[in-house]
A and B are shown apart, each in its own frame.
Chain A
Amino acid sequence: MLKLDQITVQVEGQTVVNQLSLTVQPGQITVLMGPNGSGKTSLLLALAGHPHYQLKGRVTLDGQRIDQLAPEKRARQGLFLGFQTPIAIPGLDPVAFLWEALQQQGQSATLEAIRNQMQHQLKQLALKETVLDHGLNQGLSGGERKKLELLQALILKPKYALLDEPDSGLDIESLQLVAQAIKRLSRQGTGCLVVTHYPRMARQLQPNQVFIIRAGRIVAQGQQELIDQIEAQGYQDLSP
């Protein structure tokens, strides 16, 4: 499991996550919901090792402590971050990139095999095939970039995936495709921590656990009925 033990995250001297603990089980979907500014994105970036964030506490991945490791080492331990606003890297061939990322993880395959897998996943996510003809994320809309993050996760098959708002900016059809993709990811064995605003997406995922975060703290923990509660009443009643 991915275990977060009393995690505090600071950025530019401000504490944005305070004494947060939660666990993510392999092959299960955990949803983390909260209003804007509650610290969700900061938490995920800090877990991945982003240099602007200072993380205190213990993070262990299948028994291995990862909170002191450089980002690439955390990735090689099996951690994947699906960014909220994935950056474009012009000129970087997406197939070659993913192939090499797989090599790093000790998984080998031919370029052709990777291209085929990517094309298959592109169809499943309703992304144009021409995505493979440009640099990584070049010329893609926000929604398309998020789908591409999921595509990478489906092929890399990480142990744990942190998905930062895979739903924001998507239309209804895309929401369903993305929810299905996340479920497929978890069925492949990946433990998913999905950050989202929207009760609709949360519900579609049929998560095993739901955590509510406000002002950097977990204020509620439960199952699907928590989603209904948020949808009906919003976040105000739950205070840190």
Chain B
Amino acid sequence: MNKTIKTTGLTHQTVVSISRHKSEPKWMLQRRLQALKLFQARALPTWGADLSQLDFSQFRYYRPAPTKPQTRWQDLPPKIRTTFEKLGLPQAEQEALAGIKAQYDSEIIYSSLKQRLARKGVVFVSMEEGVQQYPQLVRQYFGRLVPPQDNKFAALNTAVWSGGSFIYVPPKVKVAIPLQAYFRINSPHFGQFERTLIIADEGSFLHYIEGCTAPTYSSASLHAAVVEIFVKPRARVRYTTIQNWSTNVYNLVTKRAWVEEEAVMEWVDGNLGSKVTMKYPCCILAGPKAHGEMLSLALASHQQHQDTGAKMIHLAPQTSSQIVAKSIAKDGGRTSYRGLVKIAPRAEGARSQISCDALILDPQSRSDTYPLNQIETAKAIVEHEATVSQISQDQLFYLTSRGFDEMRARALIVAGFIQPLVKQLPLEYAVELNRLIELEMEGAVG
């Protein structure tokens, strides 16, 4: 039977087709359909970036994996092509990033990795495989932290999700190397509606990395991903994302971690691309002495709006959190920090420290800070500080008096500014991120 499926717009039939294509069990289809209803009923958020131009009827929600390349090199926006060239990426990688090749050639790495992981009982598969192979686990945790009722884009993701990772780390197992999204073969290098679920059992350790620093062209203009992470007692998870989506993309992401007793959750977030990003990684510090950290960098250039931040919710005693948010606004870009620190009455002895540092490089750009601190117990300490300025004239003079060109001096100062984040990245990301920022600074006026 050949059913014609509408290629744009989101209907009941679209969702059914997606689920059928993935051969999903009934319970997942039911969740998708329920989420669809919630998506249709829910209004857009009234705060944050400007989403008024989103037209849901125009998007494609269902894409079978392409057998032939979708884009030609010469069709890519010139800025992306130039940046690739300047970054000196090998041809194959350029093509993969541009979506020209359907998969990244990492078969050999992945199979040996998969073997080593399997020996330790670590599960690292696509979300689809997770649903098929570990239904009990997935059913128990999927949607518990980010239910479709949470917000319109969580509902959308729950209805049409495709791709993403499912990871389970058994108790006391420490995964020594960072797991990266592109290790999984047969996954497209990027996904519109990725759904990731990570469960780190007691005492385990995992570092997961997704995204990349190089500009990534996406013909899909709406990205709504959901990431749910369960950090069991005394476990530690670090989740690193660097996104550099092309400037046609609305990147709306819900990321949340549930952190239990004495566990640690670290979000490392780099937002360099997209037209609009709304993303506020969240730690729910649910167990005593749980610790949450967020280290983020936002770069907004011409016509970009990075509306990003963090949420730390302290529900238990002696919990602690730290947020370090750095941003750079240039060429008319806008960066907004939006944060929430909530300390519940039970969270006695909680401590939270927030520091926001924003650079504005020229008069056309804009930087905002919208922090919300809700303290419901006297037995807690919250410290928040923020600064917004251009590059310090004193620092500039110090470097020029040592013989550096003004442009080089600016680049050095900005490199120093982002260094705390770069330091936390694996080497190849760090190198690329530094080069990318240098390139951006070359183009900057102020």
Interface residues, chain A, with chain B CB atoms under 8 Å away: 48-51, 70-72, 74-76, 80-81, 83, 86-87, 89-92, 97, 100-101, 104-105, 135-136, 152, 156
Contacts and interface: CB of A to CB of B under 8 A. Distances in A.
Nearest to A77: B403
A92 B393 CA distance: 16
Interface in B388-446: 392-395, 397-406, 409, 412-413, 415-420
A156 B404 CA distance: 13
Tell me the dominant secondary structure on chain B's binding face.
helix
Given A86-B398, A90-B416, A152-B402, 7 more contacts: A70-B406, A72-B401, A72-B402, A75-B401, A75-B402, A89-B399, A90-B417
Best-buried of B403, B409, B413, B419 by chain A (most CB within 10 Å): B403
B415 A92 contact: yes
A89 B402 contact: no
Contact of A92 (B401, B406, B412): B412
A152 B402 CA distance: 10
A71 B412 CA distance: 17
B417 A87 contact: no
Contacts of B404: 72, 100-101, 104
A67 to B, nearest CB: 15
Contact of A87 (B392, B405, B406, B412): B392
Contacts of A48: 397, 401
A81 B409 CA distance: 16
Nearest to B394: A87
Interface residues of B, number: 23
Q: Top 4 nearest A-B pairs by Cβ distance? A: A91-B419, A91-B416, A75-B403, A92-B416
A71 B395 contact: no
Contact of B412 (A81, A89, A105, A152): A89
A201 B399 CA distance: 28
B398 A135 contact: no
A83 B398 contact: yes
A72 B419 CA distance: 25
B396 to A, nearest CB: 9
A70 B405 CA distance: 9
Nearest to A156: B402
Contacts of B415: 91-92
A136 B417 CA distance: 12
Contact of A76 (B403, B409, B416, B417): B403
Contacts of A80: 402
Contacts of A92: 412-413, 415-416, 419
Interface string B342-383: 000000000000000000000000000000000000000000
A167 B405 CA distance: 30
Contact of B401 (A49, A90, A105, A135): A49
B416 A89 contact: yes
A87 B395 CA distance: 6
Given A51-B393, A72-B406, A135-B419, A89 B413 contact: yes
